Amino acid sequence: MKVLLVGSGGREHALAWKLSQAPGLEELHAAPGNPGIAGLGRCHPVRAEDGEGLLGLAGSLEADLVVVGPEAPLVGGVADELRHLGVAVFGPSAEAARIEGSKSFAKEVMRAAGVPCAETLSVARVPCVIKADGLAAGKGVYVCRDQQQLDAALRAAAALGGAIVIEELLEGEEISVFALCDGARASALPAVQDFKRVDEGDTGPNTGGMGSYSPVPGYGAEEAEELVDTIHRPVLEQLASSGAPFIGVLFAGVMLTPDGPRVLEFNCRFGDPETQSLLPRLDGDFLGALVRAARGNLSDVSLETADAAAVTVVLAAGRYPAAGDVGSPIDGIAEAEATGALVFHAGTALQDDRLVTSGGRILNVTATGPTVADARERAYEACELISFQGMRYRRDIAAAVTHV
């Protein structure tokens, strides 16, 4: 089987790592990929947003499956165009991807499907949450506990343009719950917890995610299955009945409130950096599962979850999330890998054969172990061996998890 993987981040490197172990894989291609992915397959200089370029590449490679990592090409309709050409795609149509692309659409679907979510408010009054309606790369959400925060949020949301959604402010732990979907059926994956704030103790601005771990205490396979039953399956049914069947991975950001789980958002793709902690825990034929989902035939998929735990720490540029870093040499990856850790490239580039920084989140260091605490220790041991100018990372990823 020839697979074309679309994207260039740590999530895609983790996907490439997992796919490259599949017995059924003949060739792995990536568009555009990154220097880490280049060690596992062939990278082509086609951007993830270049729909026409991707169509041409999938055609010339005679790809059997295209796996789309990021949301923007999906919301832009890349999966529809590829399907028109007869290519199997793991990723939703533009219509189904609106579940991520439009917060108000997601709300409508949840309301129709009876899925518990934060209430929409008609007036912006504290405490509340202000959200830009469209895609904003994780930056369009403002949690407002006082009037000053609310004023700033309204100004910032107005600067992004477009409509806003006002929501009740929910309190609780957040988890990321994923299900592989074939348009009609959903297969639950292990729950993962992500650390969104840039600084330790969950302070500072929101980011794409500074680390992740799995399993989440109290949210094993049975609980994940229950959440998928309450959340993903009704949404899938609702989307299918409105003519927009969802094929790909449906990712629910769920807040565990004292009144039960509430959906904060949906994404139409794998989480980043959740995927880096999720995939090392999966046993079984992952490529086969993606192919069956893409073909609308998930019925006999069972991906076992290993007991092992995984922890991922994001090594970011010094000024992330305000700005990234470009061109600083990176050292110590081989040494970190020698400890047994996985080092996924998220924002790197080659400059005269030298690996350098190129982005906000630069590397993701993932380690596994019998418990979260073991995996965590191994991940941090590997992080300490890596260096680049300005490198920052949170030292408290999964620190509070002591009993799994």
Residues within the interface to ligand AMP (CB under 6 A): 118, 129, 131, 138, 141, 143, 167, 169-170, 174, 196, 206, 253, 264-265
Per CB under 6 A, 274 contacts ligand GLY? yes
Q: Which stretch binds ligand GLY (CB under 6 A): 156-164, 254-262, 265-273, 322-330?
A: 265-273
Q: Which DSSP category does 41 fall into?
A: S
Which position among 209, 211, 248, 321 is part of the footprint of ligand GLY (CB under 6 A)?
A: 209
Cβ nearer to ligand AMP, comparing 275 with 368: 275
Residues 133 to 192 in contact with ligand GLY, rule: CB under 6 A: 138
Which position among 271, 280, 321, 359 is part of the footprint of ligand GLY (CB under 6 A)?
A: 271
Q: Quick one: the chain helix, strand, coil %, rounded to 5?
A: 30, 30, 35
Cβ nearer to ligand GLY, comparing 29 with 361: 361
Q: How many CB atoms lie within 10 A of CB 248?
A: 27
Cβ nearer to ligand GLY, comparing 219 with 385: 219
Cβ nearer to ligand GLY, comparing 275 with 357: 275
Cis peptide before 273 (omega within 30 of 0): yes
Please identify the residue of the shown chain whose CB is closest to the bound ligand GLY.
209
Is 151 within 8 Å of 263 (Cβ atoms)?
A: no
Q: Is 306 helix (H, G, I), strand (E, B) or coil?
A: coil
Length of the chain: 404
In the list ligand GLY, ligand AMP, none, the entry touching 167 (Cβ below 5 to 8 angstroms by class) is: ligand AMP
In the list ligand GLY, ligand AMP, none, the entry touching 294 (Cβ below 5 to 8 angstroms by class) is: none
Please name which of 40, 41, 92 lies closest in space to residue 71, comparing C-alpha atoms. Answer: 92
Count of residues of this chain found to bind ligand GLY when the rule CB under 6 A is applied = 8
Half-sphere exposure for 92 (CA within 13 Å, toward CB): 33
In the list ligand AMP, ligand GLY, none, the entry touching 40 (Cβ below 5 to 8 angstroms by class) is: none
The sign one gets for the Cα dihedral 216, 220, 223, 229 is positive
As a whole number of angstroms, the distance between CA 241 and CA 341 comes to: 44
At its nearest, how many Å lie between ligand AMP and the CB of residue 77?
22
In the list ligand GLY, ligand AMP, none, the entry touching 274 (Cβ below 5 to 8 angstroms by class) is: ligand GLY
As a whole number of angstroms, the distance between CA 322 and CA 205 comes to: 9
Cα distances from 75 to residues 41, 51, 71, in angstroms, run: 26, 11, 6
Cβ nearer to ligand AMP, comparing 119 with 307: 119
At its nearest, how many Å lie between ligand AMP and the CB of residue 177?
12
At its nearest, how many Å lie between ligand GLY and the CB of residue 135?
11
At its nearest, how many Å lie between ligand GLY and the CB of residue 125?
28
In the list ligand GLY, ligand AMP, none, the entry touching 118 (Cβ below 5 to 8 angstroms by class) is: ligand AMP
Cα distances from 90 to residues 14, 23, 78, 179, 247, in angstroms, run: 16, 19, 11, 13, 6
| Parallel/antiparallel/unpaired status of strands 65-68 and 88-90 | parallel
As a whole number of angstroms, the distance between CA 330 and CA 333 comes to: 8
81 membership: H or E segment, kind and range = helix 78-84
Cβ nearer to ligand GLY, comparing 41 with 253: 253
Per CB under 6 A, 9 contacts ligand GLY? no
Cβ nearer to ligand AMP, comparing 255 with 309: 255
Rounded to 10 degrees, what is the CA torsion of 346, 352, 353, 356? -30
181 membership: H or E segment, kind and range = strand 173-182
Q: How many CB atoms lie within 10 A of CB 220?
A: 14
Please name which of 303, 97, 281 lies closest in space to residue 188, comparing C-alpha atoms. Answer: 303
Q: Which stretch binds ligand GLY (CB under 6 A): 120-128, 140-148, 271-279, 290-298?
A: 271-279
Which position among 133, 167, 182, 272 is part of the footprint of ligand GLY (CB under 6 A)?
A: 272
Which position among 102, 193, 238, 267 is part of the footprint of ligand GLY (CB under 6 A)?
A: 267
At its nearest, how many Å lie between ligand AMP and the CB of residue 162?
15
Cβ nearer to ligand GLY, comparing 266 with 380: 266
At its nearest, how many Å lie between ligand GLY and the CB of residue 382?
21
Residues 220, 281, 12: CA angle, nearest 5 degrees: 120
Give the binding site for ligand GLY (CB under 6 A). 138, 194, 208-209, 267, 271-272, 274
